[in-house]
Each structure stands twice: as structure tokens, then as C-alpha cells.
Structure 1
Amino acid sequence: MNQDKLEFIVTPSTLETSRYCLINCSATNSLPDWEGIDLHSPTASKLSCVLDENEPWDSYDQVVEKLIGEQDYLSQLGGYPKWVQGEETPTDGDGNPMKLLFQIDSEDNAGLMWGDVGLIYVFYDESSEKIEFTLQCH
């Protein structure tokens, strides 16, 4: 760990609390967004280009919807991130995509608002124990 990069944040004297809201958990499947497909599966990208040379993202999105249904913004543990503004998966020291640990969507009922109706994304690299945090807003 590089001691020069450590920053300690002073705990505020008062902390806001979120309102209670019911959380329902269910298993779901996820696949990468079109913009990140090359990062995770260059073969899927090439096949989509063969299926529709002019709009390959459309053929990819159609296949994804048939396989797992429409992907929507949500809070989730693991899987692939659903990006608000485009692919930003961080990479490890070897250039490989880091794993999504979780993403948390803005939730009006809980009083959680990340920027302008955004999502926070937290990634983890097991080998270096590095954690990356990203925020994207609409």
C-alpha cells in the first residue's frame, strides 16, 4: 500500500440517515453493455457486426433481450454494470477488467440520490485488493 496516497476523511459531526425502504432481493442475469462488449468478449462484438454491419449494437441488444430480458438500471451485487453514460470499467495492473462488486441505483423511496439520478459502481481486484469507485449520472 502506498502511504503517500492515503487520505483520511474527517467524520462529519452529523450524518444524514436514509429513510427505511423495503429491499427485495432476487437472482438475475446480466450481460455487458454494447459499449463494453469488446472488453469482455471481442467474439460477440465481431458476430454482432456480421449480423448487422450498419448497427451492430442493435443486433447485440436484441440477443441480450432474448437471453435475459431487458436490462434496466438497478442496484445489484456482482454481474456486469449497467452504465448510465458509457463504459468505464476500471482495469487491474495487467489491463484486465476489474470485477463489479456492486452497483447502487438512486432510490427515491430511500432518499438516496447520486448526483442527477445516477448510480455508483464499486469494483474489486482480488489479486491487488484494489477497490475502485465510480459515479455516473443522467
Structure 2
Amino acid sequence: MEIEYDDDPRRVQRDVVRRWLSTEAYWGRWRGDADIDASLDGSWRVVGAYRTDTGELVGCARAVSDGVGFAYLADVFVVAEARGHGVGTGLVRTMIDEGPGALFRWTLFTSDAHGLYAKHGFGPPDETAMVRPAGDLVGR
């Protein structure tokens, strides 16, 4: 499977992203189309993986950043039929190693694919991170 990686946000096939994130993503199935569109529109960078023969979007990743030294990697996914072809590796490489944020401090939250992220320099979580889970209303 030949894949092209592109960070042109206008090229992202939002219907594919909406469908996958709202039905497959364990981390955010609660998001509706408007939420997903807002997250794409508010992202610092979006990278898509496209089949070169059909132009079909088969994977996507987005990042939020200050544009100077810090970025958060989010919503990385590869559709089922494209898994096992290196698409996830290509997405992460294009996003963090080959893009304008190559020297940034990157962070992400994930319950899986630790091996993929380790290949790109992510280590195990450390004890300096403090996290407030989404939807936490403690103290309000």
C-alpha cells in the first residue's frame, strides 16, 4: 500500500475523521461532528495519510501547540484496512520528526500503541505530570 503524508488541513476528509473518532476512538466517542470539526479547526497542525492510488484518507493525527516549544499529539488513528502497513509510524514521524515541531517537547495520552510512540522518543509517563481528567468538576 503506497501512502502519501500531507499536512494540508484542507485536504483532510472530515467525514472519515468524524466517522472514525465517533465510533472507534476509545478516548472520545462522545464527540459529535461539530466537536470534531472544532478540534480540527483549532489544531496547530493536522497530518493525513492518503492512499496514493485513490486519495482516500486512511489515517490522521493532529497536534495542539504554542508553536514555539511544546506540542500535544492527539487523535492519532489508522483505519482497520490500512493497519500493518506502517501508516501509524509514518503519521507520527511526519508530525513530530519531520515537521516544524521536530525540536519541541511533545506529550500525549494513550492507553495503547506504546511501542509506536517509543520509536519516536516517547518514554514511559513520569511522576511530574499532573492531569485533570476531562469532565472533572471536583471543586466547582
Q: Structure 1-normalised TM-score? A: 0.26
- Structure with the greater alpha carbon radius of gyration: 1
TM-score, normalised to structure 2, is 0.25
Structure showing the higher strand proportion among its residues: 2
